[in-house]
Amino acid sequence: MRKVVAALGALLMISACGGQGGGGDQVRITLVQGLAGEEFYETMACGAKAKAKELGVTLDVQGPQKFDPTLQTPIVNSVVAGKPNAMLIAPTDVKAMIAPLTQAKKQDIKIILVDTVVEDPSIGLSRISTDNLKGGAAAAKALSEQIGGKGKALVISTDPGVSTVDARIKGFEEEIKASHPDITYLGVQYSHNDVGEASKIVNAALAKDPDLAGVFATNLNSATGAGSALQQAGKLGQVKMVGFDAGPAQVKQLKDGVVQALIAQLPGDIGAKGVEQAVAAVKGQQVTPSIPTDATIVTKENVDQPEVQKVLYKA
């Protein structure tokens, strides 16, 4: 019975954003997510599927169970073996994913980078992502505003070597250094994209620095874990938080006063634009090397506005 319910759940998830993209069988594209089942990448998959359907191409979506290059590499290898015309991928590490993607390139699979990138700029005909450096700076400004421009601030990220969150940290640090002299920056700690680990980091930070004023969490899981630690420690109000991403758990934390600002990306647009670029590359048409997508600062005050509701991630 449980199996039937699980199978039904899987079917419902697929139909929630219009089913697998498809129709024509001329162009075959695979999207390799950074992490399967996570709201950012599922919203990206929805955007990609809708665009694939519109353009009459076939889209298959795969992703690892953890944001981890050792799990993403075998997926890329098996996608390459199936020889799709194009691959949209969010590489989980700037270095480790270069070798498997080089193999894909050698097979003439058109590679489009969605969200994250690798250090080798020759990989990826097009790169579509948020301006994460700018997003990190925006997070610093928002956090500074919340803590009155002074006090101790901590950053919680996933792992070094992930291009997006590394850029967010850089943007945050540069902004604090340049314009917020009374903020004491405590540095960055890594949660390995694990909610429980992010909570532990915040608990330890509170024990060491009971006067902690602010936290910037660079992505979904870091923010979920950091926020629940602040809530459980009874620190709401004293410690202010800004988080990247806007999944259902983050929006709840915003409404509950756990986090004061969210930076919402446009994962659906990233997926859709990725498919457009992939199709153009396969058809030998002009491809745009770099496409920045927008980010929106979501607060308790604007979260219910219709244009802000549109940028919140799908469950």
Q: By the criterion CB under 6 A, which residues form the site for ligand T6T?
A: 34, 38, 40-41, 115-116, 162, 164-165, 219-221, 244-245, 265
Q: Which residue is nearest to ligand T6T (CB)?
A: 220
Between 55 and 313, whose beta carbon lies closer to ligand T6T? 313
C-alpha radius of gyration, the chain, whole number: 20
CB of 244 to ligand T6T, least distance (A): 5
CB of 242 to ligand T6T, least distance (A): 13
Between 151 and 274, whose beta carbon lies closer to ligand T6T? 274
Q: How far apart are CA 92 and CA 94, in angstroms?
A: 7
Which H or E element spans position 273? helix 267-282
Phi-psi map region of 164: left, alpha, beta (phi>0 left; psi -120 to 50 alpha) = alpha
CB of 124 to ligand T6T, least distance (A): 15
Taken in order 41, 115, 113, 70, the sign of the CA dihedral is negative
CB of 210 to ligand T6T, least distance (A): 29
Tokens representing residue 111 in the block: 């590679």
CB of 263 to ligand T6T, least distance (A): 9
* Structural contact between residues 193 and 199, judged by C-beta atoms closer than 8 angstroms: no
Amino acid letter, 74: P
Residue 297, burial from CB neighbour count under 10 angstroms (0-12, 13-18, 19+): middle
Checking DSSP bridges between strand 126-130 and strand 110-114, what pairing results, if any? parallel
Between 48 and 57, whose beta carbon lies closer to ligand T6T? 48
Q: DSSP for 58-75? A: EEEEE--SSS-HHHHHHH
CB of 100 to ligand T6T, least distance (A): 18
Q: How far apart are CA 276 and CA 112, in angstroms?
A: 10
**Residue 305 main-chain phi, psi, to 5 deg:** -70, 140
Between 114 and 213, whose beta carbon lies closer to ligand T6T? 114
Between 58 and 163, whose beta carbon lies closer to ligand T6T? 163
Between 172 and 244, whose beta carbon lies closer to ligand T6T? 244
CB of 150 to ligand T6T, least distance (A): 28
Between 164 and 199, whose beta carbon lies closer to ligand T6T? 164
